[in-house]
Chains A and B, each alone.
Chain A
């Protein structure tokens, strides 16, 4: 079912470095990783050891709670390394490609298929539980995140696979293809579901990224597990923002070498990520994760963003006119001038925004009210829900609609918050408590 919806509330952040509409093919990259921490609620059990030979689609890690769910290797090759973090937490399983995959025969979509992990479930954002009956499967046809890829452009030439993917998904629940007009977060699954048919307690909704629908389709048509995505690479600190065609979980070393302003930039290991000049974000700059310059794409990400680190002082930042500062509020000159965009050629100083990763202030209690509502297109009171999450009042959270949201839905609230509260973390922690309660 195709829907066109219009969302009014929201904000498009004028982040520089919009990718050019030109796709570079990077499907030849050697190293790939599977990252269990990217998958909410996934307790990994390692199925391979370093040096093992694996084929594309072969499970690398399995969920301890539900053994049907696994994360497969995206390429054929050998397991190069298994990266663990604090408390031996499994961070990455790196596979080095050495052979091409062989063709298989057409298959049907089942929970045992290697593409199953691409289907996400709400509430909580876990992998779809095959035992649940979703009331719908939602696919957003427009990603509204800052610098996100244009999905129409990314899916050009894969129409047939996309169709096949939709058909395969329809076996489980009605599939809703939604094109949302309007500012971010119009294209977020949360916004779409809230606008069409909000989730109630005890209900489930599945969602699949549009590019992954094509990947599911490819698997169904040919039986070949070759999940590729066209990713948008951009950001104010990127040298030549472009689209790249990659296979999921690819190492971004080639991309960062091409995009970093300073070619001789010293390579840093994943552990010493601090004190570098450019931050590389896998996923949206509003909710993605930091990766090293030879790190790997996140499991569900379709963009990479290069942003200057903002670890610099700003003299009397709270008093200066701020022509270069972007703020949703109109407390800076740049904001007051925004309605007069037509007059810009006549202005002696033009508002051009510079973005970096600075917090632009210190953490404070919530003081100001009324701005979250303007970027939060849900029938939910955002501030009240956040406060219910802070105090851990589960009952109140349920009443206020916690099941309808994911942390990413609060990304803009977090962005505009003058109190600099870590809202997405607060929401994630609250959801985790509810999720653990639900499965125990």
Chain B
């Protein structure tokens, strides 16, 4: 493909003189179209083909199965709620309805988030970081479908500014920005984020909802989940927009693990930690929730989504290999602990990951200290 004309066009419009301050914005679009022609100057003369854009885009691609299924499920839940079991709408109609519901959420998330990212990059004369391409898609995927757009916009602004930019931008933050956005919504507008009347859209626009409880909501209320384990595995249950289907999430997980973008240590250990805690509660068996088969925890709520896409965020996770095991195990364990033992928060995954984000530097510190001790002992011998 000969793209010489585009190369020339970009070189022609490069901002100079009084427009030079627009450099970051220009650079962002230019590197989007072309990997730059910069050559190595010192050190290694040859470089690996991978860069940040490539790595981040793999995460975005991995989210697509869950996104597409989530769109269908929004429509499916809507028609099911409005018309009951006898509704007759094709898969495509369900998906189209969900697509139209999701689109504004995604557009608002990207528009607000990217504007802030560009503004900060421009202000700092930095290049615009790709990190938000993943974060901006994650945020609309983990909120209830009826979340008002202005709340999404506020949450995104909070997450990007307070969660990330005040620390210096992508790579410097210690909390997962997507979860910061969700936590902001959760604590600022609790009525829009939990309960039974937020998960199913009543119509194409607006934030009216049809009543419909998530399995976790039912459990927190003391009853058994009405959905079967199979429904939860496939994801045909009410819940946050795109995190219901464990199968769709698993497809993304396969891509992330195959490409090595996400840490298999974290992913595996989150499930191990959650499973172990679930089994422990099974053994205690004090109430119905404790007696719930341990694998239900993997299928309900945001456990799988959190384990695959949130806990594995490399910036906010532990950075050492042994640290990653500890970090993952504790996320899984705390998530299940919160679910079962704290009725105020039906879902524990978000808080568990955010808590471990805060603990990750401490874990790393302990792991690295052991290495330092080993070195000191060597001198002492």
Contact = CB atoms under 8 A, between A and B. Distances in A.
Contacts of B127: 362-364
**Interface bracket on B:** 35 or more
A219 B310 CA distance: 63
A359 B47 contact: yes
Nearest to A274: B39
Contacts of B58: 331
Contact of A368 (B6, B44, B261, B376): B261
Given A329-B55, A331-B55, A419-B52, A314 B45 contact: no
Contacts of B131: 367
Nearest to B34: A313
A201 B372 CA distance: 13
- Determine the main DSSP class of A at the interface with B: loop
A358 B321 CA distance: 31
A365 B170 contact: yes
Interface in A365-417: 365-371, 373, 379-381, 383-384, 399-401, 407, 411, 414-417
A368 B48 CA distance: 14
B45 A359 contact: no
A316 B57 CA distance: 12
A418 B3 contact: no
Q: Which residue among A290, A318, A414, A418 has the maximum number of chain B CB atoms within 10 Å of its CB?
A: A318
A357 interface: yes
A381 B34 contact: no
A286 B45 contact: yes
Interface stretch (B217-225, B245-253, B312-320): B312-320
- Max chain A CB contacts within 10 Å: which of B36, B54, B171, B368? B54
Interface string A174-198: 0000000000000000000000001
B14 interface: no
A361 B44 contact: no
A313 B46 contact: no
A383 B3 contact: no
Interface in A289-338: 290, 305, 307, 309-319, 322, 325-332, 335-336
B16 interface: no
B86 interface: no
B344 interface: no
Contact of A310 (B39, B263, B317): B39
Given A313-B35, A418-B51, A357 B45 contact: yes
Given A287-B43, A315-B3, A315-B6, A366 B171 contact: yes
B50 A360 contact: yes
A420 interface: yes
Contacts of B315: 367
B41 to A, nearest CB: 8
A327 B48 contact: yes
A71 interface: no
Nearest to A365: B171
B100 interface: no
B35 A361 contact: yes
Contacts of B49: 317, 322, 325-327, 332, 360
Interface stretch (A73-81, A117-125, A245-253, A422-430): A422-430
A314 B44 CA distance: 20
B43 A416 contact: no
B31 interface: yes
28 contacts: A285-B44, A287-B43, A288-B45, A313-B34, A313-B36, A315-B3, A318-B51, A326-B48, A327-B49, A329-B48, A329-B259, A330-B260, A331-B259, A332-B50, A360-B49, A362-B36, A364-B51, A367-B171, A369-B314, A369-B317, A383-B319, A384-B368, A399-B372, A399-B375, A400-B372, A415-B47, A416-B48, A420-B47
Interface of A: 13, 15, 146, 198, 200-201, 279, 281, 285-288, 290, 305, 307, 309-319, 322, 325-332, 335-336, 355-371, 373, 379-381, 383-384, 399-401, 407, 411, 414-420, 422-425
